[in-house]
Structure 1
């Protein structure tokens, strides 16, 4: 069995950036991705547009040409998957990493299909695979969705959208415009502060005119087959008719996996321990890249400000191989 210089867990934009940087350093590498290339982006809403402009989503200084000021999901898929093809990156798809064990200085990486060994490992796993569960009765019902792709299934349906983030607001507006009866149930007192600036007036105006109903400072207490029960801002229990619940309450890294492979989680935010100067965790040779670095604070890292992790990590790995402190 050949031992790689590094194995990259996750084939998202930052995982690809790490592979590109590894090639520059003449390091042997392998990306293991549990789905398709940039799998999380593939599962984004079909008509989603990024907050960032295309130049801020570029990796390895490869131009991201886009006719629109803000690229959409399909354009991003074309860009990142195109890079993987043109650069002939060494990536195994539909191969989920199950375990990572270090023994005598070498990592054994166990996947759903094979086992590999490497001197270094990079976790670039993001957070989109683990919904932030509400932990309410009835959340297991088939009518409850933690992911949203397009509005058409919800036409002429009574839909509760939980949350006030970008994903919640986009879903509410799209479903409303395709004939859905939309009610938003929001824990906070207003629309999220990080909602895209060109979308905020739209959702606020729809709420103001009553075409989208919104209950602020409210929280779901139970989901039933034909209704939703929630506590409103006055502490009163209300029950409304309902066909679908979109629980778009955010997503989290896989803390169980991160902890199981030996990475320490710090504080209430469960930030995986790592050195900012090298991105190395408390497990020597195991590095973090991308949004996984923020733990529960998933708003801290994006493609545009974590692209630099690839270069930081490769410089650290090369220095380690050369014995430079």
Structure 2
């Protein structure tokens, strides 16, 4: 069986960047991706716009050309998938990595289709696959959605949006403008300071004028078929009519996969152990790249500040050779 120099788990922007860096250095590599190219971006809301400008999303110094000041989902899909085609990156799609184990100096990577051998493995799997559950009664009802794509299904419906992050605010504003009756249930005392600066005044003004109802310092305690029960900041219990719950409570990396690969996790946020200068984990020649490095702190790493991981990792691999 062929032994790869590098096997990369995940074909997101940072996984692609790792592949490009490996290719430039004549390393034999392969990306394994469980979905399509930049699968997380593909599953973003249809009309989502990035906080970052185009040049901060570029990889391998390839120009990201767009007519918009802030690129949207489709712009990013065209850019990253275009790079994969143009550079003829080696990718196996719709193949899920099930297990990574090491025997002496060689990794055995088992997928849904076959097994691979590699001298080095880079895990760049992001965090968009596993919803951060509320763990309350009724969360498994069909009306509860942890992923939001577009507002049209929610026209003329009574919607509860959970949270005050960018995804929560986008969902609240878009569904409101398509005729939904929107209520936001927010654990904190205000809209998140991390909300995109051009959107934050919009949601605050809609709340102030009463077009969107917001309950701050509040939390849902139960979801029923046609209602939602929540507790307000004074501890009082309320029940309101409801058709859909958009639980924009965030997402988590696949911690079980990381642990099963031998990576140590520490603290309440389950931060994976890695060397800050090489991105190498506690397992020699097993690396992390991109947002997966943050554990539950998924806001720490994003495309523009983790692009450097590829160069750091490949440099270390070459030095080890």
State the TM-score, normalizing by the size of structure 1.
0.98
Q: How does 1:25-36 map to 2 (within 5 A)?
A: 25-36=25-36
- Please state how far the C-alpha of 1:86 moved relative to its aligned partner: 0.5
* CA distance in 2: counterparts of 1:115 and 1:192, whole angstroms: 44
Q: Which ranges of structure 2 fall in alignment gaps of 5 or more residues? A: none
Equivalent residue number for residue 218 of structure 2: 218
* CA distance in 2: counterparts of 1:26 and 1:173, whole angstroms: 48
| SS at structure 2 position matched to 1:299 | coil
* CA distance in 2: counterparts of 1:177 and 1:211, whole angstroms: 10
Equivalent residue number for residue 294 of structure 1: 294
* CA distance in 2: counterparts of 1:217 and 1:254, whole angstroms: 29
Equivalent residue number for residue 128 of structure 1: 128
C-alpha RMSD of matched pairs (Å) = 0.4
Equivalent residue number for residue 155 of structure 1: 155
1:173 and 2:191 equivalent? no
Deviations 1:203-255 (A, max 9, x none): 00000011000000000000000000000111001000000000000011111
- Please state how far the C-alpha of 1:266 moved relative to its aligned partner: 1.1
Q: Which runs of 4+ in 1 moved over 2 A?
A: none
Deviations 1:121-155 (A, max 9, x none): 00000000011000000000000000000000000
* CA distance in 2: counterparts of 1:243 and 1:114, whole angstroms: 44
| SS at structure 2 position matched to 1:85 | helix
* CA distance in 2: counterparts of 1:256 and 1:225, whole angstroms: 32
1:116 and 2:116 equivalent? yes
Equivalent residue number for residue 64 of structure 2: 64
Equivalent residue number for residue 267 of structure 2: 267
Equivalent residue number for residue 282 of structure 1: 282
1:52 and 2:52 equivalent? yes
Q: Which ranges of structure 1 fall in alignment gaps of 5 or more residues? A: none
State the TM-score, normalizing by the size of structure 2.
1.00
* CA distance in 2: counterparts of 1:263 and 1:15, whole angstroms: 19
- Please state how far the C-alpha of 1:261 moved relative to its aligned partner: 1.1
Equivalent residue number for residue 14 of structure 2: 14
* CA distance in 2: counterparts of 1:34 and 1:107, whole angstroms: 19
